[in-house]
Structure 1
Amino acid sequence: MGDYIVRATAANNQIRAFAATTRELVEHARAAHNTSPVATAALGRLLTGGAMMGAMQKGDKDLLTLQIKCSGPIQGLTVTADSHGNVKGYVNNPEVMLPPSAQGKLDVGAALNLGVLSVIKDMGLKEPYVGQTHLVSGEIAEDLTNYFAESEQVPSAVALGVLMNKENTVRQAGGFIIQLMPFADEEVIDKLEAKINSITSVTALLDRDMTPEMILEEVLGEFGVEIMEKTETRFFCNCTKERVERAIVSIGKKEIQEMIDDGESIEVNCHFCNENYHFSVEELKDIIRRSR
């Protein structure tokens, strides 16, 4: 199995946890969008967080969108995930280049700078749920931790990491989300906080080729961790030429006729997977005929 997410419980259900390995899907995103190293790290972290948060959803058709609007040179990121391990995303400025941080690492915080994180949950109701929080660091894991605390009132520890090879391909990617249930004992809370604070970084664990199960054992072993479920995760975009055609129809016959009058074919790009869809003048004429 390639990339996957595990769901687990510990301390007699007082803790719930998710961990993921996402190297292949992050590398897919890097190749599709030709992202710079710092853009790959930012997008990879958000894709990994989104995949795990998507796995938290209960409904078959539930959709989760993580959107960051920010003042930094990356300009923003968007990730969408479902409850089946499918995730897709893009950055507004994939070519952003920055010097390393003071610690010699990819400076994701500087790439994002100030901004707002929106979490949109479409659960088939009349209106989707939208939770918004300000970015606290731009490092993404801390921003998601803050979102869980402020918007969902769930004490959480989120760790996300992307390691790059020298030729700018993805060497490792993954992370974990650990959450305390409302009935958690003070002793469990104190022990868990101490354990999480003792972990240097999730990238250090990934660099040791640790699987999601091994990472959870490392963090939660003393609490009696029990793996409940294992789900494959992948970069998957559900765009098709037919779906793009429906988007073209929605802009209106007048605008389509203007394209036809220009006498040139058009190309429509999917933001999420960077696939280009070509429509000839004859195809545009056919779209108008069929939409009457």
Structure 2
Amino acid sequence: MSLKEEFKFKDRLIKGIHPGGQFKISVVKTTDVVQAAKENHHLSLLNTVILGRTLTAAMLLASELKGEERIQVRLDGNGPIGMVVAEANRVGEVRGYVQNPTAELDYSESNVDIGDGVGLGILTVSKTLYNEAEPRTSTIELVKGDVIADMAHYMVQSEQVLSAFLLDVSLDDKGNVKQAGGLLVQRLPEAEDESMETLQKTVASMPPVSEMLADGKYIDDIMHLACTPFDVKELDRQPVHFFCRCSPVRFKNALSLLSYDDLKEMEGESQEIICHYCGNRHTIPKDEIRSIIEKARAKLN
């Protein structure tokens, strides 16, 4: 693939709306995002799929936000994966991690399903919005643990919006991400029941998103296909990438919030801090640790 073609098919999100106000739709390609998460966190195949779906879902939900407002999707289950966290904002930055990155399932056992990786538990969605001091948080029980059914259930229970979710991650023989992406169709207040029934049937009959991407269809094509037989008008599109704003400065600021006694135990040693979200390692030299300790001591006087 040429550089021009690679740029054309980069990870992006597109938003559209029915001209008659029946529904709105977001479609996203997250292939590079999920591959970056796999590499950064050394994910097992199971975790690549589950975290990949969660990252994709978070980005689709974030498409409804403004500016740098952000949303966090968190699954807490009793399965081997444990906790799954994904966070995204409106400008296309998405990041995430899992509690047990090497967890796998024994597929030789009967009735094993990918949802068993997360298991029974709860799904929490938190929105950090402008002009609101505290995040808006909604929590529901996990339906299946596969992320797809759980996000669809969340939209009905917490957002009270009839929706259709597709989330998909496909892997190659080496365990790398072939394609990843998803779509979210949401009913608008003036929608007719017949229109939504038609849309649900259309979405249910579609091939997996990863298969459509592998066949050369891009987010535009998938959006129009998902809206058949209705018209859809593009509202916006934006690049999407795995990105984390962690930095040594942020970690030093976090260290400065510790008590003097806790900081005193670090004296004479540098500190290596690993970001949960992206896996990056940041080293705070011992002289900077000493400076933080001295400032903490000064506050006690």
TMscore range, shorter length: over 0.9
Give how far 1:289 is off. Answer: 2.6
Q: Which residue of 2 aligns with 1:46?
A: 54
Q: Helix, strand or coil: the match of 2:115?
A: helix
Give how far 1:290 is off. Answer: 3.8
2 CA distance for matches of 1:70 and 1:101? Answer: 22
2:86 aligned to 75, 79, 85, which one? 79
Give how far 1:48 is off. Answer: 0.8
Q: Which residue of 1 aligns with 2:4?
A: none
Q: Which residue of 1 aligns with 2:3?
A: none
1 CA distance for matches of 2:134 and 2:262? Answer: 30
**2:79 and 2:116 in contact (8 A); partners too:** yes
Residue 34 of structure 2 corresponds to residue 29 of structure 1: no
Q: Show the 5 A alignment for 1:97-246.
A: 97-100=104-107, 107-124=113-130, 125-246=132-253
2 CA distance for matches of 1:208 and 1:108? Answer: 25
Give how far 1:200 is off. Answer: 4.3
Q: Which moved more, 1:34-43 or 1:179-188?
A: 179-188
**Structure 1 moving runs of 4+ over 4 Å:** 100-104
Change (3 A) 1:101 1:196: farther
**1:29 and 1:235 in contact (8 A); partners too:** yes
User: RMSD across aligned C-alpha pairs, in angstroms?
Assistant: 1.9
- For structure 2, the residue ranges without an aligned partner over 5 or more in a row are 1-6
**2:92 and 2:239 in contact (8 A); partners too:** yes
Q: Match for 2:29: what amino acid?
A: T
Residue 254 of structure 2 corresponds to residue 266 of structure 1: no
1 CA distance for matches of 2:215 and 2:140? Answer: 33
**Deviations 1:29-69 (CA, angstroms, capped at 9, x unpaired):** 111001011101011111111111111102x2311111111
**Deviations 1:102-138 (CA, angstroms, capped at 9, x unpaired):** 999x953110111111000111312211011111111
**1:38 and 1:107 in contact (8 A); partners too:** no
Q: Helix, strand or coil: the match of 1:223?
A: coil
Residue 265 of structure 2 corresponds to residue 247 of structure 1: no
Give how far 1:196 is off. Answer: 2.2
2 CA distance for matches of 1:101 and 1:226? Answer: 47
1 CA distance for matches of 2:219 and 2:68? Answer: 26
Q: Match for 1:130: what amino acid?
A: T
**2:270 and 2:284 in contact (8 A); partners too:** yes
Q: Percent identity?
A: 29
Q: Match for 2:125: what amino acid?
A: V
Q: Match for 2:83: what amino acid?
A: G
Give how far 1:288 is off. Answer: 1.9
Q: Which residue of 2 aligns with 1:277?
A: 282
1:90 aligned to 92, 97, 121, which one? 97
How many residues were matched structurally? 288
2 CA distance for matches of 1:43 and 1:273? Answer: 13
2 CA distance for matches of 1:61 and 1:176? Answer: 21
- For structure 1, the residue ranges without an aligned partner over 5 or more in a row are none
Q: Match for 1:142: what amino acid?
A: A
User: Normalising to structure 2: TM-score of the pair?
Assistant: 0.90
